[in-house]
Amino acid sequence: MENVVLIIHLILAVSLIGIVLLQRSEGGGLGMGSGGGAVSGRAAATAMGKLTWVLAIGFICTSLALTIIAAEKAAGVSVLDRLGTQAPATEEQSTPVQVPSGDSLLPPAQGDDAPLTPKAD
């Protein structure tokens, strides 16, 4: 069921993009210019405008349907509830980190008293 709704959602998204790009520009970005001296700010409803609204409403409905389907498939517990089920690590369970003495970029010394200077060939 989720796959069917997802495919319809993708078809609606692509169709909505195509319809919006095919529409004629009203020439008044951000409400500037009223076009034709009309007093009303609302343009006449065209077939393309109605189709845009239908596709947009369908897109929103499929978005809500996908959200509901995803919520039903969830385990029913929140992420914070799942984090609380794990026992915190105690000091007995954790292993101490071994930090090497000296610079780890230098080669290992030959003995405990060996200097950390390079050998002369």
pLDDT 10s digits, 3-13: 999 999 999 99
Rounded to two decimals, the pTM is 0.52
Question: Is residue 11 a part of any domain in this protein?
Answer: yes
pLDDT given for residue 36 in this prediction:
53
Domains held by the chain: number: 1
| Assigned token pair, 48 | 């393309």
pLDDT given for residue 77 in this prediction:
67
Question: Is residue 108 a part of any domain in this protein?
Answer: no
Give the domain range for residue 10.
1-24+48-73
Question: Is residue 87 a part of any domain in this protein?
Answer: no
pLDDT given for residue 111 in this prediction:
61
Question: Is residue 59 a part of any domain in this protein?
Answer: yes
Rounded (5°) CA angle 55-51-5: 20
Q: Which residue type is seen at 111?
A: G
Question: Is residue 41 a part of any domain in this protein?
Answer: no
Residues of the chain with pLDDT under 70: 27-44, 75-77, 79, 82, 84-121
Question: Is residue 5 a part of any domain in this protein?
Answer: yes
Question: Is residue 31 a part of any domain in this protein?
Answer: no
Question: Is residue 1 a part of any domain in this protein?
Answer: yes
pLDDT given for residue 41 in this prediction:
54
